[in-house]
Homo-oligomer: A and B are copies of this chain.
Amino acid sequence: MSADTILAQVDVTQYEDPEKFKAFIPKLEKYRQALNDAILPQYSVELPDKVENLTAKQFNPVKYLYSQKLLTPSEFEITDSSAPQLVAKFATGELTAVEVFKAFAKRATIAHQFTNCALEIFTKDGLKRAEYLDDYFKKNGKLIGPLHGVPISLKEQMDFKGRQRHACFVSKIDHICEAHGTNAQILENLGAVFYIRTNQPQTLMHLCSDNNFIGVSRNPFNLSLTPGGSSSGEGALVGFGGSAIGVGTDIGGSIRAPAAYSGCHGLRPTSKRIGLAGSLSAGAGQESVMAVAGPLARTIEDIDYWMKHYINDGKPWEVDQNTLRLPWKEVAAPKASDLTIAVMYDDGIVRTTPPITRGLKETVAKLEKAGVKIVEFKPIRTQLAYDTVNSMYTCDGNDAQRELLAASGEPLCRLTKWSLNYGGGKELTVTQNRKLNMIRDSLRQEYTSFLIDNKIDFILSPTYNNVAPKPKQVYNWSYTSLFNILDFPTLVFQTGIFQDPEIDQWDASYKDYKFRSELEEIECNIYNPKEFVGAPVGLQLSGRRYFDEEVVAAGKTIVDILQVDLTKIK
């Protein structure tokens, strides 16, 4: 069966109502116009061609940015600095918040021009905030907090005081937030500068970005590909270098897929370490598999810095009762020879495409050479894990999604249909839901015991069976959602490897390969080497629950071994 045949089975009449939707069309047009008007001339550039044409030729905006020097040397230096480097320079007065802000505002605006990453741009407000911070520093001789002047981007679903927040549900287009949600509040308390809120797919349940507001975002390394989802705009923006640190959310891969696809790093922390109260999703009250928020950035130091200060200085437990009072520990980057890593080459559900297979093998070879002990990881009950987590996503029979969608009657995007029905889409009883929880707990115990008993520190795995897929064509979440159901903290890191159509071809044995499922067949058939040029290879590093600090610290060691520097893609 093709994907289209499966999608055609969805009863869209439960959700769509073209008549009702008509009333929202002018609002959506106004919304798009406002977004367009927010692109200020001082921050924008002229594109080399129409975006459609650039997309058709797999244009790489990141390379173009550097090769055509779209920024001044000073702007490059600023926007290629890590947040702790910027903050250190604010503290000595070497940099002002305003000059840093302007550089990021320009790079972010260009990112949006190429990738359609933003749902909202408010660089005027950002500038005012930067001016305020400079003024504060002048008056008080000290920084306002550990994120003083750091330009931070937020996924739109998070409440932002005085602004619209719709999470790409058309029915919520008129909702204005009375207060900041947990994340905007904590980050603002710490000194962050906000200026952009980013794109996400309808229902937040695609590893892509389509919606009825502004449509798909594009990948900053190849405009014909998706930046991933659901933190789509964060992936595209941070991958392009348009914000120092971005904040996304992840219930099935929504931080990690965008990070991996779009060429940056991203952390899905253990649940409840980062707050999520004050945000819109259809998952409210759903606790079988928890959504989490977490950072995307271009250095692991940024991720560590953000986590440390968000938790230790932000004290999220004082803002959001559902966060743990669990300080972020200082953990030094381990020596390579102290690490034991289990590698999962294939999760038993969908085999990897050639660039991922190569990326994983080359990475393993470099790690082994550096002294890391590598063992092979045979997936443990991954099909059960995948079936279970998929049932969890839809076990209210999609009631919550239906309510949010049907309220506007908006058309369903292609991948919305996929996600609504993927787990079965049947409403379960409380007893059936509890049984899913018990399966989940037995899986968590089994993976935990396996790691402890075998003295394995981390699991290394693909983020997805492929590199960044084409828009609206990503069906499998098995590699990421495994760590959602396990609730294992998982870092996506860049390997420094990119798809190469000459090298990354299916080998001779592929023509005889027997697909293990329709899903695998659909996914593998999409991969044509010529159509994924230059897509980054990002991998997952997972540790046990609450070992977030250790995962991030090991990520530093690994990225160091691999000599990855995302500011040197020139």
Interface residues of A (CB under 8 A from B): 277, 284-288, 317-318, 320-322, 324-326, 395-397, 399-400, 427-431, 433-438, 441, 444-445, 448, 452, 544-547
A433: chain B residues at CB < 8 Å are 285, 430, 433
A317 touching B434 in the complex, CB below 8 Å, given contacts A429-B427, A445-B277: no
Task: Find the B residue at minimum CB distance from A433.
Answer: B430
Task: Find the B residue at minimum CB distance from A318.
Answer: B452
Nearest Cβ on chain B to A334's Cβ, whole angstroms: 18
Cβ B324 vs Cβ A444 within 8 A: no
Nearest Cβ on chain B to A409's Cβ, whole angstroms: 21
Task: Find the B residue at minimum CB distance from A392.
Answer: B430
A277: chain B residues at CB < 8 Å are 441, 445
Cβ A431 vs Cβ B427 within 8 A: yes
A285: chain B residues at CB < 8 Å are 433-438, 441
Nearest Cβ on chain B to A438's Cβ, whole angstroms: 5
Question: Considering the chains assembled together, what is the distance between the CA atoms of A51 and B457 in angstroms?
Answer: 58
Each complex incorporates copies of this chain amounting to: 2
A444: chain B residues at CB < 8 Å are 321-322
Task: Find the B residue at minimum CB distance from A545.
Answer: B321
Nearest Cβ on chain B to A269's Cβ, whole angstroms: 13
From B325, B431, B545, give the contact of A546 (CB < 8 A).
Answer: B325
Nearest Cβ on chain B to A124's Cβ, whole angstroms: 33
Task: Find the B residue at minimum CB distance from A326.
Answer: B326
Question: Considering the chains assembled together, what is the distance between the CA atoms of A430 and B393 in angstroms?
Answer: 12
Cβ B325 vs Cβ A396 within 8 A: no
A321: chain B residues at CB < 8 Å are 441, 444-445, 448, 545
Cβ B322 vs Cβ A396 within 8 A: no
Question: Considering the chains assembled together, what is the distance between the CA atoms of A448 and B286 in angstroms?
Answer: 21
A545: chain B residues at CB < 8 Å are 317, 321, 325
Question: Considering the chains assembled together, what is the distance between the CA atoms of A491 and B172 in angstroms?
Answer: 44
A284: chain B residues at CB < 8 Å are 434, 438
From B430, B437, B547, give the contact of A427 (CB < 8 A).
Answer: B430
A325: chain B residues at CB < 8 Å are 326, 545-547
Cβ B322 vs Cβ A431 within 8 A: no
A317: chain B residues at CB < 8 Å are 544-546
Nearest Cβ on chain B to A388's Cβ, whole angstroms: 12
Task: Find the B residue at minimum CB distance from A451.
Answer: B318
